[in-house]
Amino acid sequence: MGGWFFSHWRRLEDTGAQNHPLVGKNPQSFGKVNSVRSTCSGERGKMAEPALAETPNIGGTADCPVLIEESTPARLTVRQVRDVYSRLAPLYGLWQKLAQGRSQEVALELADVRNGDRVLEVAVGPGTALESLARSNPAGATIGMDLTPAMVERARRRLQRGSLTRPALCQCDARFLPFANQSFDLVLASYLLDLLSTADIASAVAEMSRVLRPAGRLVLVHLSRGNLWFDRLWGFLYWLAPEMLGGSRPIQLAAYLPSAGFTVAASRRIVQLGIPAEVILARRTP
């Protein structure tokens, strides 16, 4: 898979992904030391498979303690999440339109992209939101990343069809972002954190805080709790076969933000196809 991805990575070099000024200075690691990362070997033409370390569902790290206990623990490992979305990639764009289109519109509205911004979309999926972000930001820098190579490839094709050459794409892990501190004005992540364990949610949010500039904007979309029948049905299906639901379960995302240095500025609830979601705009404390 590493060689497969690198063949497309070479075609993405003209977007600035590999040598982008926002990428960490060490191209050997393409990430932080002792982190889960996408690794570029010193020899051009080869890219190593990302090492997917797993974090327990309970507890935290020394740098990012977890104080939230979710009613439904995550049931998929990070590796399983990647495998599930590799299989879902061909149909995920359709699912976005049917069940996530409205929440995505609200997320882009709250993001309020300003031409010239430095923008990062985490878990870019098939690139629907990334295309909108890039069109709103022709004078800025727009980067999309995803853990799943199949999603990165679909996003690349979408940008090509739209004749968008400036956005950069990379395959990496949200818990260990390969970017320098305070690199971005805006970070957007949709339907990602509700896949992760409590410790991994806290790690990913801390990373988003690290790469945001003071007063930078964070826009998050996640599955939220609904009415009683929805919660019971979703909970049963998640217990039965979490892969069938894409690994998503309702979480209390706003509770993770203060300890990572964020203040919630706005929150909107969206229901589409009977599925409830919350869209959060938070600002990094200066």
Q: Is the pLDDT of residue 89 over 80?
A: yes
Q: Percent of the chain, pLDDT > 90?
A: 58
Residue predicted with more confidence, 199 or 226: 199
Q: Output Rg (C-alpha) for the chain, integer angstroms.
A: 18
- How confident is the model over 8-34, as a mean pLDDT? 40
- How confident is the model over 216-237, as a mean pLDDT? 90
Nearest to 168 by CA among 140, 209, 208, 205: 140
Count of Cβ atoms closer than 10 Å to residue 238 Cβ: 20
Phi/psi at 149 (nearest 5 deg)? -55, -35
- How confident is the model over 150-160, as a mean pLDDT? 94
Alpha carbon 43 to its chain's center: 28
Q: Is the pLDDT of residue 51 over 80?
A: no
Q: Is the pLDDT of residue 67 over 90?
A: no
Express each pLDDT in 242-286 by its tens digit. 998 899 999 999 999 999 999 999 999 998 888 899 999 999 998
- Confidence category of residue 232, pLDDT binned at 50, 70, 90: confident
Supply the pTM of this predicted model: 0.78
Which region holds residue 277: left if phi is over 0, alpha if psi is between -120 and 50, else beta?
beta
- Confidence category of residue 22, pLDDT binned at 50, 70, 90: low
Q: Cβ-count burial of 223 within 10 angstroms (0-12 exposed, 13-18 middle, 19+ buried)?
A: buried
Alpha carbon 146 to its chain's center: 6
- Confidence category of residue 19, pLDDT binned at 50, 70, 90: low
- Confidence category of residue 61, pLDDT binned at 50, 70, 90: very low
CB of 52 closer than 8 Å to CB of 173: yes
Three-class SS of residue 214?
A: strand
Q: Is the pLDDT of residue 48 over 90?
A: no
How do strand 212-223 and strand 275-284 relate by DSSP bridges? antiparallel
CB of 179 closer than 8 Å to CB of 211: yes
Alpha carbon dihedral 102, 262, 175, 156, in 10-degree steps, equals 40
- How confident is the model over 109-128, as a mean pLDDT? 96
> What pLDDT sits at residue 21?
57
Query: Which tokens sit at 17?
Result: 């992904």
Residues 6+ apart with CB under 8 A from 74: 57, 195, 196, 197, 198, 200, 247, 249
Nearest to 189 by CA among 240, 285, 125: 125
> What pLDDT sits at residue 20?
57
Q: How far apart are CA 170 and CA 201, in angstroms?
A: 20
> What pLDDT sits at residue 34?
26
Give me the count of residues in the chain: 286
- How confident is the model over 85-112, as a mean pLDDT? 87
- What fold is seen in the domain 2-284? Rossmann fold (3.40.50)
User: Any alpha helices (H) in 96-184, and if so which ranges?
Assistant: 101-111, 128-135, 149-161
- How confident is the model over 141-156, as a mean pLDDT? 95
Mean of per-residue pLDDT scores for the chain: 80
Task: List the domain boundaries for the chain.
Answer: 2-284
- How confident is the model over 203-221, as a mean pLDDT? 98
- How confident is the model over 130-137, as a mean pLDDT? 96
Give 2-8 contacts, CB < 8 A, sequence gap 24+: 2/46, 2/47, 2/48, 2/49, 3/46, 3/47, 4/149, 5/47, 5/149, 5/152, 5/171, 6/45, 6/46, 6/47, 8/149, 8/152, 8/153, 8/156
